[in-house]
Amino acid sequence: MSNPEQFPLATQRHSFAHMLAQAVQRFIDPDAQLGTWPAIETWCYYDIAFSDWITFKETDCKALTKSIQRICSEKQTFLVYACDIQEWYTINALTNQQLKNELLDKFQQQGEERISFYLNVVPAAVLEHARETAPWRKEYYTAVTAYFQEQWTIDDQQAIVFLDLCAWPHVASTKEDLDTGWCVVSKLAGAYRQADENNQMMTRIYMDIFANKEELKAYQTILEEAKKRDHRILWEKLKLFTISPLVGAWMPLLQPNWTILRQEIIDYLWELHKERWYQQVWTPHLAKEDLYVTSWHAAKFGDELFRVSWKEENDKFFIKPMNCPHHMQLYADNQFSYRDMPVRYFEPGTVYRDEKKWQLSGLTRVRSITQDDGHLFCRIGQINQEVMSIVTIIKEFYATIGMLDAYRVSLSVRGDDQSKYLWSNEVWDIAEQGLKQAADDAWLPYKTIPWEAAFYGPKLDFMFKDALGREQQLATIQCDFNLPERFDLTYINEQWEKERPVVIHRAISWSIERFMGVMIEHFAGAFPVWLAPVQAIILPVSDSFHDYAETIHAMLSTAWLRVKIDDAAESLNKKIRNAELLKIPYMLILWEKEQTDNTVSVRVYATKEQYTLPSDEFCTQLLEEYTTRSLGKSSDQA
């Protein structure tokens, strides 16, 4: 790199996005229609609509990477221009990029009058070479070059080989300022044009760009490890849940192993809330349309709601898409005074949303969702103390999971235009200050993000990193001034007057399904003892030790530990291999010596360590690891 400080990696990624699209047009499909092209984190992507006669596969990514490297060697220069939108329509017609007109129409609707764009030009020394390597695009860009030589400042010793709308900065030269050694076209995905399912499906091409070889290699290693940890693969190997075509896609049926994990998470969440005076509630799985009209969810999420017909009534019903409107009704059916506040509800309630097919993926987006839901009704002056309590729960929960390192928090507040927000500026000031004070008091690594608050209140969003360093948004705390207003919720204050409470929505794990998908990948399916469906498996080496195996099983089961016996007529090596495939934390191997000495030979899955303990001592060790929810040595996050 000639000057990496002048052109930071983010700028290079934007420039590589243009190189990616240019390579597609020059070497694969001259009539490819170009969509959107953001540069994010360690990569960029470009949405491409290929011609019907083109089939671009993931196996073609390597060749596309080489094409990008080839055109970067041409010493192309990035030139930035701006023009009236109407003139761009004329320019765009020369390149036959019909999808760009959609963007122009959108810009005009937003009141934009001028737009910026970048040209890629080559000098005379490489002009013919560029044309020879791009015969398919010659007719388009010969016309574009002629237009700019006549109307703008391109001289006759330069030729345009690519142009596109862009407001971001770019490097000066592809040869001098882009290092193609540490970039790779990595994968493909499908994406609807403009994220609208009514539009055509485009091919999203991803390109990873790094500062050096070491970063690229490290990232590729993480990708390979991520494939091994993919919960969509591990759920079948570990027999966690079932997707049945007769039941419906993305509505998982929980196998016994999964049900154990789910219940352990819910039990722990309830333990953390119970000691802070939450009350557990339950609400039905459907409700009248009127409930969601009042809450405004029917208007905002109408297309995502499952409707239910009702034979004996004219009322319309919806299957429950969220728990909060139901909790408003629980509060409304009481006459609370200021002495009762705060009121805290806890419900891990299952809800249902008619998500679009293109949005659904594994456990991260499903149609039946168990929300880790909690709603607090408090006075404005209690916001800080309640938020602080929730923050404490979040930190304790994720410390137990082993994800509290390197997390970050976003404090979403109002923007400058405060007319779009519900309730007074005074109330908003108190709420924002309450969240900020709690974040300061808890030493949260937070950043204030203007304009990101919802119209109904500010919020704190927590992002945690899993074992591979991938960021996951999992917890949230949201103040809500809207629902108390819409449902006319009140309490009686010290002056015997009705006063409006504030609702605080909180989710610790977001949804149980999504959270468990993250957990499967975080632990690579090798769960710590407290989450493991089977915590230990007993492996008698022959039938003569079966009675002793039953004795050990009875002792561990009596202590409420989850244990099984593998008494199959198979070799010890096969039994060990089967237990390792299921990632069972502990294997207890029983030989004659173990039976004689009343001991167990312990093999640890994560470390492959082996040792011998008295059976009662192992029981005590395992029970302590379970009850303390220790990560211990039985799980493998690395």
The sign of the CA dihedral 135, 141, 143, 148 is: negative
Rg (CA), the chain: 30
> How many residues in the chain?
638
Beta partners for residue 507, in sequence order: 476
pLDDT value of position 124:
64
pLDDT score for 3 = 52
* Tokens describing residue 182: 């540490």
- Tokens found for residue 360: 């659904």
Average pLDDT over residues 335-349: 96
pLDDT at residue 201 is higher than 60? yes
Short-list 337, 343, 387, CA closest to 497: 337
- Does the pLDDT at position 367 exceed 90? no
| 190-211 mean pLDDT | 82
- Under a CB-based contact definition with an 8 Å cutoff, are residues 548 and 575 in contact? no
| SS3 labels along 457-522 | ECEEEEEEECCCCCEEEEEEEEEECHHHHHCCCCEECCCCCEECCEEEEEECCCEHHHHHHHHHHH
Structure tokens of 409? 């928090």
Contacts (Cβ under 8 Å, ≥6 apart) of 532: 562, 583, 584, 585, 634
Range 238-263 average pLDDT: 87
Return the structure tokens found at 427. 């109330």
**CA–CA–CA angle 239, 240, 241 (5° rounding):** 105
Residue 375 confidence (pLDDT):
95
Closest by Cα among 343, 503, 336 to 427? 503
Q: What band does 234 get if pLDDT is binned at 50, 70 and 90?
A: confident
Region 592-597: mean pLDDT is 94
- What spatial distance separates the first Cα and last Cα of the chain, rounded to whole Å? 34
* DSSP-derived pairing of the beta strands 446-450 and 368-378: unpaired
Q: How confident is the model at residue 197 (pLDDT cuts 50, 70, 90)?
A: low
What pTM value is reported for the model? 0.79
Q: What is the pLDDT of residue 422?
A: 67
pLDDT confidence of residue 179: 77
Q: Which domains, and CATH codes, for the chain?
A: 9-227 (3.30.980.10), 247-280+321-521 (3.30.930.10), 536-627 (3.40.50.800)
- Locate tokens 């080489």: which residue? 66
Sequence-distant (6+) residues with CB within 8 A of 213 are: 181, 182
User: 214 is written with which tokens?
Assistant: 């070491």
- Of 135-139, 152-156, 285-289, 528-532, minimum mean pLDDT range: 135-139
* Alpha-helical segments (H) within 28-84: 61-72
Of 6-15, 125-134, 461-470, where does the model show the most confidence? 461-470
Q: Phi and psi at residue 127, in whole multiples of 5°?
A: -60, -50
Average pLDDT over residues 216-227: 83
**Residue 334: pLDDT band by 50, 70, 90 thresholds?**
very high
Round to whole Å and give the CA distance between 370 and 347: 9
- CA atoms of 329 and 339, how far apart (whole Å): 20
- Statement: residue 635 has pLDDT above 70: no
Q: Which band of pLDDT confidence, cut at 50, 70 and 90, is reported for residue 102? A: confident
The pLDDT, as a whole number, for residue 460 is 93
* Omega before residue 501 within 30° of 0, cis: no
d(CA 271, CA 212): 47
Phi, psi values for residue 283, rounded to 5°: -130, 150
Given pLDDT bands bounded at 50, 70 and 90, which one contains residue 222?
Answer: confident
- List phi, psi (to 5°) of 569: -80, 65
Average pLDDT, the chain: 87
* CA-wise closest residue to 518 among 595, 444, 463, 453: 463
**415 against 460, higher pLDDT:** 460
Task: Using the predicted structure, report yes or no on whether residue 4 has a pLDDT greater than 50.
Answer: no
In this prediction, residue 2 carries a pLDDT of 47
Amino acid at 569: A
The helix or strand, by DSSP H or E, that contains position 336, with its residue range, turns out to be none
Determine the Cα–Cα distance for residues 147 and 131; give it in Å rounded to an integer: 17
Q: Are the CB atoms for 152 and 62 separated by under 8 Å?
A: no
Q: Are 562 and 533 in contact (CB under 8 A)?
A: yes
For residue 126, the model assigns a pLDDT of 67
Q: Is the dihedral of CA 208, 214, 220, 225 positive or negative?
A: negative
- The mean pLDDT value for 305-322 works out to 82
- What proportion of the chain, given as a percentage, has pLDDT over 70? 93
Which pair of tokens denotes residue 540? 């008698």
- Write the pLDDT tens digit of every residue in 21-41: 999 988 888 889 998 877 676
Name which residue leads in pLDDT, 63 or 304.
63
Long-range CB contacts (within 8 A, 24+) of 414-417: 414/450, 414/451, 414/453, 414/458, 415/450, 415/451, 415/453, 416/450
The candidate with the shortest Cα–Cα distance to 119, out of 87, 85, 166, is 166
pLDDT tier at 178, thresholds 50, 70, 90: confident
Burial of 178 (0-12, 13-18, 19+ CB in 10 A): buried
Query: Can you tell me the mean pLDDT for 256-270?
Result: 94
Residue 442 in this model has a pLDDT that exceeds 90: no
Q: How far is CA 134 from CA 22, 27, 176, in A?
A: 10, 7, 22
Helix (H, G, I), strand (E, B), or coil: what is residue 596? helix
Phi, psi of 157 (to 5 degrees): -100, 10
